[in-house]
Amino acid sequence: MSTTAAPNYELLQQEGLETSLLEISMGPHHPSTHGVFRMDVKLDGETVVELKPVFGYLHRNHEKLAENMSYLSSMPFTDRLDYFNSMTNNWAYALAAEQLVEVEVPERAEYLRVIMAELTRLVNHVTLVGFFVNDLGALGTPLMYAFREREKILDLFEQASGARMMCNYFRFGGLRNDVPEGWLDRTRELVDRFPAFLDEYEQLLSENEIILSRTQGVGNLSRELAINAGITGPMLRASGVNYDLRKVDAYGIYDRFKFRVPYTDGDTGDCYDRFMIRMLEMRESVAILKQALADIPEGDIIGKVSKVFKPKPGETYGRIEGPKGELGFYLIADGTPKPYRYRVRPPSLINLTVLREMCLGGKIADAVVILGSIDIVLGEVDR
Amino acid sequence: MSFQLIIDILIATVPLLVIFPSLFAFTTWMERKALARIQNRIGPNKIGVPCTRVSLFGLGQPAADGIKMIFKEDIVPRGADKLFHLLAPILALIPAMLILCFLPLEFPWGKFMSGKVQAFMLDSAVIFFFAITGLNTLAIFMAGWASRNKYSLLGGMRAVAQMVSYEIPLVLSAVIVVMMVGSLNAKEIADAQSGFNWFVFSPWGLAAFIVFFIAALAETNRSPFDLPEAESEIIAGYFTEYSGFKFALFFLGEYIAMFAISGLAVTLFLGAGDGPFVDAAPWMPAMWFIAKIFGLIAVMIWLRGTLPRLRVDQLMAFAWKFLLPLSIFNILLAGLSYFALDARVANTTDDVIHYVNSGNPFAGVPELGTNEALMGAMIYRGMAGEQNPMAAKKWFLKAALKGHPASRTLVAWWLGIWVLSLVALYVMAKGLNNLSRSTTKPREYLYAE
Amino acid sequence: MSILGGGIFKGMAVTLRNFVGSYFYKERLITNDYDWRPEDKLPQSIGEYPKEEGEQLRDTTTVNHYSRNFPMLLHDGGEPMDTVRCVACQICERECPPQCIYIEKSEDKTERSDNKAQFYPAKFDIDVSVCMSCQICVEVCPFDAIVMNSQFELSTPDRFGGLLVRRDDLLKSNDYYHKIHPQEAATRDQKMVADKAAKEAKKKAAAEKAKAAAEVKAKAAAEAKAKEEGE
């Protein structure tokens, strides 16, 4: 870690006064570290003068494990990376593997993939905002409202894939099974009702004076630092960069949908921007969902892939715009049924790298809020 | 004599020791249930009558919690200061219980036995109240220090800073009531408000009540000022290292303090035991008193279910840059307008008396509303029993409604002063708000197609 | 110029609405009581999304068609080991991502009631504590022998033995499968029948081909013979 910032406190410089900084190890079990994450904080009163993020408590050897099993067997493990967004994790991995064998994905499967990914984005953002306000000190009310809506979407996931969170639904070349009868109608109904929830949520949160003063001007992230640190996703857009892989890559069939990418002018890039960008993105996701649900055709659900997945030697990098940022899978195939190299680009970990820069000089309560606004899942950070 | 004394003491204190802890149990249930419903959950709904399937909306839950608390292992950290670790929860509870003695709570049996209406009559009750509330800070800091835990220490330090800061607006807003009544005696304050002359029904009283309520939230560590026990930042603050019965004592102390401070707010601003049908039964005043306390606690729960927490510097800024100037301004305003209004009432009284003296008002064509105006004047001068400016105003209002010209002028003055005071207070609050915190507002965002 | 504290009052209005609403609109109240015997419940079709506000949004105690929790071994009725579909090919054991399946192949083939001589699993253990319900074993099985059960009350006071499910406990009849996952079981049966038919057709075709080839061969041989004889 870099050098400790000099404690900017006059008393410390006075001679004859024996004072020291208060060192606190926040975590690995702490109510607001979102899992097993630790922040070694040095406090001058309530002000953070040094912060050292420590992670790795949840390391599960995901990448090395994947190099020792078949391509398909890694699919359920990708669910467990960012366990809020198993659908998008599946998609990123499937995308990478499909580039190795160049398989055609049927039309209906592409539409269902978009629907699942955008529902996942709703799940992620709605839960993030809930937890974020919980970190601000609200007694779980916004979180419970968020979970209320999340439950409805998870019900849909369960009906389609059999599991609420660990969906394991995508396959190379399509999806595992078609959605059951009536599922699309039910999803349409949910999507139609979702904006009403967003309105209520915004009424509850986005004008609240306490939330405004707690988040505005807290944890500023400049555009330059965000780009240099490789930040992606809503956090990058909150720092004023218009960069969304759905527009840049137009993977899948995203070029068919009309949607907007919200971003800021980059003046502030604080927690409030990160919070609001996500709120606005949810509305755009609803717009995509409406179009996809209107246009979805009948048809096959999986393309022609041989049962034994054995790509020719080569390498590939598949990336998607996950709810947390750019999620990428880098694969090297060597002609065997197992990948030679398997590497995940986790948005959570890379977004976490700027935590120290954002927290220094703030209060300890700000550090918690900033961590909440980064939106990390330790399953993905530690892998 | 000694027997009579003991009975008196028992009758005065036992209700406080029985009623409020059982109300505490009910309040925890109420809070859990209300928060659950606010959050669209069900809340406790299983435990009711033991050994049956009667659940009574989960009303048995506090009892189950209490039993659990008692039988839990009491863990004292190895490095802790054992004596103070033990003393802190006790010290948190005692002052809270003590404060209850000063509330003008008229239990009918108290009246019946000895004529006493409250456990402890003191001419300087309001001052005593604030003096004892200050002890609570000590207990919390003691807990934070003795636990030998960094989170506890942070929580304890936050508590001291917060409670010392918020005591000032709390006292200053109570000063307004003391100014109007001219007494520190809780019973006299309560009596002065009888007949719906509650102090909250005046602009400066309303402002003082709001300031008092906000400061009371901070004094009792309730959301959005629950920084000393901020869960997302410092685990549980000063009671991080407390478990079992000690934790329960802290909890009890906190809730009793809530009752006490709400009780004081009710005494000072909300007319104590006054309310509709108050004379219908001897237990009505006590019932109204407790109902009002519960009303305030319901608002506290509601706030807790809605608001996030302030940051520590914002908390201090709010106390010193917003509440303190506002309450000082309020005192000034209250003094001035009360003086102006009183002068006007005196003037009108003089007019009426002069008119009466100059000729017989009841002969000839009586001017409209003269009887009421005369009544008001007599009450104001103390010619009809006790001198009572408040009640006098009510008679003048009646006279004005009937069309008495002098009273009408008085009411116009009255309304003018009220509206002016309200506007002045709002402008002051708004200005202070803009000054005390950096301007924050919702923002506009860009969209890329 | 906004009202002082306006945002806070707005938020309080929302919480009040939810407080009152939770007593009148069941849709708001997402939690409901846990049914003590949920595993007896049959799967519910998705059904209509509730149109009325007062309707219950969902019944958390039912399972649905694709629900998966833990694998089971299928047999076609009767004495389980006589009709077990598993032939101990051990593909699922190899492919299982968390490696929770343990199979021991039988030494000998058995004569079963359906007159097929097959290897069978002498041991087939799955560890509940390791299994992550991913359904990969179901997908790789060439014999449709392993499918997912939706039973989820699997807790036990025994940490080791109790969580290791043995072959005989894993065996479930196809009828049971039809009961818990009717749609899935039906498609699977159809597929099996189709596969079987295709296989037989293939066999038949192969046989015919072989026959034809033999005929051609015989003909050729006869011709050759005739030629030989002619010479």
Q: What are the domain boundaries of chain A? A: 62-345
What percent of chain B shows pLDDT beyond 70?
A: 88
Distance from the C224 Cα atom to the nearest Cα atom in chain A, whole angstroms: 45
List CB contacts of A181: < 8 A, sequence separation 6 or more.
Answer: C45, C46
Bridge partners, A38 (sequence order): A54
Place of tokens 């209490």: B66
Q: Are residues B155 and B216 in the same domain?
A: yes
> Does residue B34 fall inside a structural domain?
no
- Please state, in angstroms and rounded to a whole number, the distance separating the CA atoms of residues A120 and B146: 47
| Backbone phi, psi, residue A365, to 5° | -65, -30
> Does residue C4 fall inside a structural domain?
no
Contact A262 B235 (CB under 8 A): no
Contact B305 A141 (CB under 8 A): yes
> Does residue B428 fall inside a structural domain?
yes
> Does residue B327 fall inside a structural domain?
no
- What secondary structure letter does DSSP report for A312? P
Strands C146-149 and C70-75: antiparallel
Q: Are residues C103 and C121 in the same domain?
A: yes
- Please state, in angstroms and rounded to a whole number, the distance separating the CA atoms of residues B211 and B329: 12
Most distant CA atoms of chain C, gap in Å: 120
> Does residue C2 fall inside a structural domain?
no
Element (H, E) at A315: strand A314-322
What percent of chain C shows pLDDT beyond 70?
A: 79
> Does residue B50 fall inside a structural domain?
no
The residue count for chain C:
231
Q: Are residues C20 and C84 in the same domain?
A: no
Interface of B with C in 330-369 (CB under 8 A): none
User: For the residues C2-11, what does the mean pLDDT come to?
Assistant: 80
Q: Is the pLDDT of residue B365 over 80?
A: no
Q: Are residues C172 and C189 in the same domain?
A: no
The identity of residue A219, as a single letter, is G
Interface of C with A in 132-151 (CB under 8 A): 132-136, 139-140, 148
Q: Which of C143, C160, C180 is the last residue of a domain?
A: C180
Q: What is the token pair recorded at B163?
A: 């409670």
> Does residue C127 fall inside a structural domain?
yes
Q: Are residues C173 and C97 in the same domain?
A: yes
Element (H, E) at A54: strand A47-54
What is residue A8's predicted lDDT score, i.e. its pLDDT?
52
Q: Are residues B344 and B220 in the same domain?
A: no
Contact A22 B150 (CB under 8 A): yes
Q: Are residues C76 and C163 in the same domain?
A: yes
Chain C: list its partners (3+ Cβ pairs within 8 Å).
A, B
| Backbone phi, psi, residue A312, to 5° | -70, 160
> Does residue B416 fall inside a structural domain?
yes
Give A238-241's long-range contacts (Cβ < 8 A, gap of 24+).
A238/A263, A238/A264, A238/A269, A238/A273, A238/A274, A238/A276, A238/A277, A239/A264, A239/A266, A239/A269, A239/A273, A240/A264, A240/A265, A240/A266, A240/A267, A240/A269, A241/A266
Smallest Cβ–Cβ distance between A207 and the set C6, C46, C135 belongs to C6
Q: Are B319 and B168 in contact (CB under 8 A)?
A: yes
What is residue C111's predicted lDDT score, i.e. its pLDDT?
65
- CA dihedral A241→A242→A246→A249, nearest 10 degrees, is -80
User: For the residues B324-348, what does the mean pLDDT come to?
Assistant: 83
Q: Are residues B143 and B249 in the same domain?
A: yes
> Does residue C156 fall inside a structural domain?
yes
Q: Are residues C138 and C107 in the same domain?
A: yes
User: For the residues C19-38, what does the mean pLDDT come to?
Assistant: 70
Residue of B419 and B123 predicted with greater confidence? B419
Peptide bond connecting B366 to the previous residue in cis, omega within 30 degrees of 0: no
What's the pLDDT band for C148 if we cut at 50, 70, 90?
confident
DSSP per residue over B301-312, as a string? HHHHHH--PPPH
Name the domain count of chain C.
3
Q: Are residues B302 and B345 in the same domain?
A: no
Contact C15 B38 (CB under 8 A): yes
Domain that holds residue B228: 71-310
Q: Say if domain A62-345 classifies as CATH 3.40.50.720.
A: no
Give B184's Cβ-side CA count (13 Å radius): 11
User: For the residues C103-115, what does the mean pLDDT come to?
Assistant: 72
Q: How far apart are the first and last CA of chain C?
A: 119
Task: Tell me the C-alpha to C-alpha distance, in Å, between residue B208 and each of A135, B260, B413, B436.
Answer: 32, 18, 22, 19
Q: Are residues B349 and B432 in the same domain?
A: yes
Nearest to A159 by CA among A138, A187, A133: A187
- Please state, in angstroms and rounded to a whole number, the distance separating the CA atoms of residues A204 and A206: 7
Q: Which of C46, C64, C82 is the last residue of a domain?
A: C64
Reading chain A (383 residues) residue by residue, the pLDDT tens digits are 334 444 555 555 566 666 778 888 887 888 877 778 888 888 887 888 888 888 888 888 888 888 988 888 888 899 888 888 889 999 999 989 888 888 888 888 999 999 999 999 999 999 988 888 888 888 788 888 888 888 888 888 888 888 888 888 888 888 888 888 778 888 888 888 889 888 888 888 878 888 888 888 888 888 888 899 989 989 999 888 888 888 888 888 888 888 888 988 877 888 888 988 998 999 999 999 999 999 888 888 887 777 778 888 889 998 998 899 899 999 998 888 889 999 999 998 998 888 888 888 888 888 888 988 888 888 888 88
Distance from the C129 Cα atom to the nearest Cα atom in chain A, whole angstroms: 16
Q: Is the pLDDT of residue B111 over 60?
A: no
- Please state, in angstroms and rounded to a whole number, the distance separating the CA atoms of residues C165 and C162: 7
Task: Tell me the C-alpha to C-alpha distance, in Å, between residue A262 and each of A201, A282, B156.
Answer: 18, 10, 43
Place of tokens 């629900």: C67
Q: What is the token pair recorded at A365?
A: 């309560």
What is residue B367's predicted lDDT score, i.e. its pLDDT?
61
Q: What is the token pair recorded at A342?
A: 């398997």
Query: Among A328-337, B359-368, B408-417, which range has the highest average pLDDT?
Result: A328-337
Contact B309 A140 (CB under 8 A): no
The 10s digit of each residue's pLDDT in B32-72 is 999 988 888 888 887 878 777 777 788 888 888 888 888 98
A204 vs B: CB within 8 A: yes
List CB contacts of A191: < 8 A, sequence separation 6 or more.
Answer: A286, A289, A290, A293
User: For the residues B220-238, what does the mean pLDDT come to?
Assistant: 83
Q: What is the token pair recorded at A89?
A: 């994790």
The CA-CA-CA angle for residues B173, B175, B180, to 5°, reads 115
Give B316's Cβ-side CA count (13 Å radius): 9
Name the domain count of chain B.
2
SS (H, E, C) chain C: CCCCCHHHHHHHHHHHHHHHHHHHCCCCCCCCCCCCCHHHCCCCCCCCCCCCCCCCCCCCCCCCCCCCCEEEEEECCCCHHHHECCCCCCHHHHHCCCCCEEEEECCCCEECCCCCEECCEEEEEEECCCCCCCCHHHHHCCCCCEEEECCCCCCCCCCCCCCEECHHHHEEEHHHHHHHCHHHHHHHHHHHHHHHHHHHHHHHHHHHHHHHHHHHHHHHHHHHHHHHHHC
- Please state, in angstroms and rounded to a whole number, the distance separating the CA atoms of residues A148 and A197: 10
What's the pLDDT band for C38 if we cut at 50, 70, 90?
very low
List CB contacts of A122: < 8 A, sequence separation 6 or more.
Answer: A149, A153, A194, A282, A285, A286
> Does residue C174 fall inside a structural domain?
yes
Mutate to test the interface with C, among B306, B426, B440 (most CBs of C within 10 A): B306
Task: Tell me the C-alpha to C-alpha distance, in Å, between residue B70 and each of B45, B46, B242, B244.
Answer: 22, 21, 13, 6
Q: Can you count the helices (H) and strands (E) in chain B?
A: 16, 1
Strands B446-448 and A314-322: unpaired
C86 vs A: CB within 8 A: no
Nearest to A150 by CA among A170, A166, A130: A130
DSSP per residue over B393-427, as a string? HHHHHHHHHHT-HHHHHHHHHHHHHHHHHHHHHHH
Distance from the B279 Cα atom to the nearest Cα atom in chain A, whole angstroms: 41
Q: Is the pLDDT of residue B220 over 60?
A: yes
Query: Which CATH number covers residue C81?
Result: 3.30.70.3270
Chain B: list its partners (3+ Cβ pairs within 8 Å).
A, C
- Please state, in angstroms and rounded to a whole number, the distance separating the CA atoms of residues B347 and C6: 41
A203 vs B: CB within 8 A: no
Q: Which residues of B47-78 are buried (b: 16+ CB within 10 A; e: fewer)?
A: bbeeeeeeeeebbbbbeebbeebeeeeeebee
A168 vs C: CB within 8 A: yes
Mutate to test the interface with B, among A46, A150, A248 (most CBs of B within 10 A): A46
Element (H, E) at A316: strand A314-322
Q: Are A136 and B308 in contact (CB under 8 A)?
A: yes
Residue of C221 and B217 predicted with greater confidence? B217
What is residue A148's predicted lDDT score, i.e. its pLDDT?
84
> Does residue B36 fall inside a structural domain?
no
User: CA gyration radius for chain A?
Assistant: 22
> Does residue B169 fall inside a structural domain?
yes
Query: Among B347-356, C56-65, C68-77, which range has the highest average pLDDT?
Result: C68-77
Residues of A in contact with B228 (CB under 8 A): none
Strands A22-26 and C101-105: unpaired
Q: Are A190 and A167 in contact (CB under 8 A)?
A: no
Q: Are A131 and A34 in contact (CB under 8 A)?
A: yes
Q: Are residues B84 and B133 in the same domain?
A: yes
Q: How far apart are the first and last CA of chain A?
A: 22
Distance from the A215 Cα atom to the nearest Cα atom in chain B, whole angstroms: 9
What percent of chain C shows pLDDT beyond 90?
A: 0
User: For the residues B133-161, what does the mean pLDDT come to?
Assistant: 87
Distance from the B233 Cα atom to the nearest Cα atom in chain A, whole angstroms: 6
What is residue B393's predicted lDDT score, i.e. its pLDDT?
75
User: For the residues C147-169, what does the mean pLDDT come to?
Assistant: 80
What percent of chain A shows pLDDT beyond 90?
A: 10
Q: Are residues C115 and C47 in the same domain?
A: no
Strands C121-127 and C164-165: antiparallel
A31 vs B: CB within 8 A: yes
- Please state, in angstroms and rounded to a whole number, the distance separating the CA atoms of residues B158 and B163: 8
Q: Is the pLDDT of residue C49 over 60?
A: no
What is residue C120's predicted lDDT score, i.e. its pLDDT?
79
Contact A263 B443 (CB under 8 A): no
Residue of B424 and B383 predicted with greater confidence? B424
Q: Which of C26, C45, C64 is the last residue of a domain?
A: C64
Place of tokens 């017989």: B360
The 10s digit of each residue's pLDDT in A5-17 is 445 555 555 666 6
Domain that holds residue C207: 182-231
Q: What is the pTM of this model?
A: 0.84
Closest-CA residue in chain A for C51? A189
Task: Tell me the C-alpha to C-alpha distance, in Å, between residue B366 and each of B44, B348, B352, B363, B403.
Answer: 67, 18, 13, 7, 12
Q: Are residues C81 and C148 in the same domain?
A: yes
Q: What is the token pair recorded at B33?
A: 């249930």
Q: Are B372 and B404 in contact (CB under 8 A)?
A: yes
Question: In this structure, is the dihedral angle defined by the CA atoms of residues B377, B381, B382 and B388, taken in order, positive or negative?
Answer: positive
Closest-CA residue in chain C for A147? C30
C41 vs A: CB within 8 A: no
- Please state, in angstroms and rounded to a whole number, the distance separating the CA atoms of residues B194 and B202: 15
Return mean pLDDT, chain B: 81
Residues of C in contact with B426 (CB under 8 A): 4
The 10s digit of each residue's pLDDT in A184-226 is 888 888 888 889 888 888 888 878 888 888 888 888 888 888 8
What is residue B3's predicted lDDT score, i.e. its pLDDT?
75
List CB contacts of C119: < 8 A, sequence separation 6 or more.
Answer: C87, C88, C105, C106, C109
What's the pLDDT band for C25 if we cut at 50, 70, 90?
confident
Q: Is the pLDDT of residue B366 over 60?
A: no
In the sheet with A47-54, reading across from the earlier edge strand, the strands are A22-26, A38-44, A47-54
> Does residue C1 fall inside a structural domain?
no
Nearest to B436 by CA among B160, B169, B156: B169
Contact C19 B426 (CB under 8 A): no
User: For the residues C48-67, what does the mean pLDDT come to?
Assistant: 52
- What secondary structure letter does DSSP report for A322? E
> Does residue B383 fall inside a structural domain?
yes
Smallest Cβ–Cβ distance between C67 and the set A158, A181, A204 belongs to A158
